[in-house]
Chain A
Amino acid sequence: MNERKEPHPTDLVLEVQHVNGGYRKGGLLGRGGYKQILFDVDFQVRHGQIVGLVGESGSGKSTLAKLILGLLSPESGKIVHHTPRPQIIFQDPYSSLNPAYDVEWILEEPLRVYGKYDRAERKQRVRDILARVELDERFLSCRPDELSGGQRQRVSIAAALIRRPRFLIADEPVSALDVTVQAQVLRLMRTLREELDLSYLFISHDLNVVYQICDRVLVLKGGVIVEQGDVETVFRNPQHAYTKRLLAAAE
């Protein structure tokens, strides 16, 4: 179940309640079998929080993102959104932006698809969001391949924000970027959180980045959340052996 509720007075943004999920392997009537990826995943994202999700390849981070976005249905458990239109930013802006169109077209696309805005309004919103991600208007006529990695990721962020979501999943948003650009994009994400009143689920394999930007952290291993808590607490005093190992490796 993937319920969506109108904003209501709770400070919750997202509730993931005892979710089990995975992939059907195809075959007639789904008889090809079922591979469970996530086991009893349970956490909440509160208003204004940046919640980090860390884990190594194959731990189920991206499957969880798909479940939250409703691209995959949980086998059991419940995912409740308290904000409308959750969006996602992907790792690799090279592959998530349509190379055939310019930035203006890319940013306008969601507004065109969801109808109700007239042309002038669309143009205005595109310009507004571009300013938010600190890109000059001259980039409107550029295609993705004319932009640097950092500029491209800013465009992806703008595309995710154009319909004014309040909750974003950021799936390794800075992993493909050089370290100086990485720092700029992280700063931008923090600024946007304040200005646009956003909350994030921040997926990353880089624990130091998570430490820098997140308020809470979830540690996922083999589809199980082995530890979760306040970033300072978990990083200073990890409880689970796996968290300790992960932190030691990234020291």
Chain B
Amino acid sequence: MLEIQDLHVKFHSRDHEAVGGVSLRIDDGEILGLVGESGSGKSVTAMSIAGLLPRKQCALRGAILLDGQDLLLADRSILRRMQGNRIGVVFQEPMSSMNPLLRVGVQVGEALRIHQPELRPEARRALVLQAMADVELPNPEECYRKYPHELSGGQQQRAMIAAAIVSRPSLLLLDEPTTALDVTIQAQILELLKKLNAEMGMSMLFISHNLNVVRKLCARVAVMQKGLLVETGSTDDVFHRPQHPYTQRLIASIPTRHGREVS
């Protein structure tokens, strides 16, 4: 459904390309994990798909095909419609992605208000409540009226996911969505993502530096280092038979509960 061909991103303020020729594909209904350390270009790749990079400050080359249409060439208005309706984005820090002054329900429905202005308020509200129920927020009616600070960290992240899926996108971009959460909450959010993937057939690009989390969620993994894709393969292959030296080093660094290194 999504195909990235030889994507290059260079910020005018930097000497090096942030992304130096990445080719990736995400199949229908697939969860692809994108791992790498800080500065490897994972987020920039996701931002280019979502059209969130400031066009004036960077140069993009290559192609990003969403169901055959090139997002990099598309006209601004088409792009905006596509990216609004077809792609949902969830970031790491729910608290900083939400407006503290607006009620949760209003924020969850924002994409609908912008991209489907023809919807009547009652219909929009019904869709918002449905999305909130889909992400298993307890008591959607009540959550709708709450302010972000009245929700727990896990609930805030659920609300952000609700906002991302409210327009039923076919692709969900998740940039470190569980990194700021406690492990037990993290596990719940992963279960939720699995459920959304299975029930709605939503494809996902799951970005994380946490390899354990990626292993639990994704069937396929892509590994980035310094703006380049060094390895792509099934999760099983990449974790058990890493080919590239960098991947091998990365996998070996994961703290595990087997083979304690007692000094």
Contacts and interface: CB of A to CB of B under 8 A. Distances in A.
Interface of A: 56-57, 149, 178-183, 186, 190-191, 194, 205-209, 211-212, 231-232, 235, 245-246, 248-251
Contact of A245 (B37, B184, B212, B261): B184
Nearest to A182: B253
B255 A178 contact: no
Given A180-B249, A186-B255, 6 more contacts: A179-B37, A179-B209, A183-B255, A208-B212, A208-B255, A235-B257
B250 A180 contact: yes
Nearest to A215: B262
B260 interface: yes
Interface string B15-36: 0000000000000000000000
Contacts of A211: 255-257, 260
Contacts of B186: 249
B118 interface: no
Given A190-B263, A212-B260, A235-B257, A249 B209 contact: no
Contacts of A248: 187
Given A179-B211, A212-B255, A207 B183 contact: yes
Nearest to A56: B182
A180 B36 CA distance: 10
A203 B247 CA distance: 28
A180 B212 contact: no
A183 B263 contact: no
Interface string B219-257: 000000000000000000000000000000110111111
B201 interface: no
Contact of A178 (B38, B153, B185, B263): B38
A230 to B, nearest CB: 12
Contacts of B38: 149, 178
Those 7 A-B pairs whose CB atoms lie nearest each other, nearest first? A178-B37, A56-B182, A208-B255, A183-B253, A249-B187, A249-B183, A249-B184
Interface string B192-214: 00000000000000000111100
Contacts of A183: 252-253, 255
A194 B263 CA distance: 9
Contacts of A186: 255
A56 B184 contact: yes
A190 B184 CA distance: 28
A178 B183 contact: no
Interface of B: 37-38, 153, 182-187, 209-212, 249-250, 252-257, 260-261, 263
B256 A180 contact: no
A208 B184 contact: no
B206 to A, nearest CB: 16
A51 to B, nearest CB: 15
A212 B211 contact: no
B184 A246 contact: yes
Contacts of B182: 56-57, 205
Contacts of A149: 38
B184 A57 contact: no
A153 to B, nearest CB: 13
Contact of B153 (A57, A191, A208, A250): A57
Nearest to B37: A178
Given A57-B182, A245-B184, A182 B255 contact: yes
A182 B38 CA distance: 12
B254 to A, nearest CB: 6
Nearest to B210: A179
16 contacts: A56-B183, A56-B185, A57-B153, A57-B182, A178-B37, A182-B255, A186-B255, A190-B261, A205-B183, A206-B255, A211-B255, A211-B260, A212-B256, A212-B260, A245-B184, A250-B183
A57 B154 CA distance: 12
Best-buried of A57, A179, A194, A246 by chain B (most CB within 10 Å): A179
Contacts of A246: 183-184
B253 A180 contact: yes
B247 to A, nearest CB: 11
Nearest to B211: A179
A206 B254 CA distance: 11
Contacts of B153: 57
Contacts of A235: 257
A180 B40 CA distance: 13
Contacts of B210: 179
A180 B254 CA distance: 8
A208 B261 CA distance: 12
Contacts of B212: 208, 250
B250 A179 contact: yes
A211 B258 CA distance: 9
A211 B153 CA distance: 26
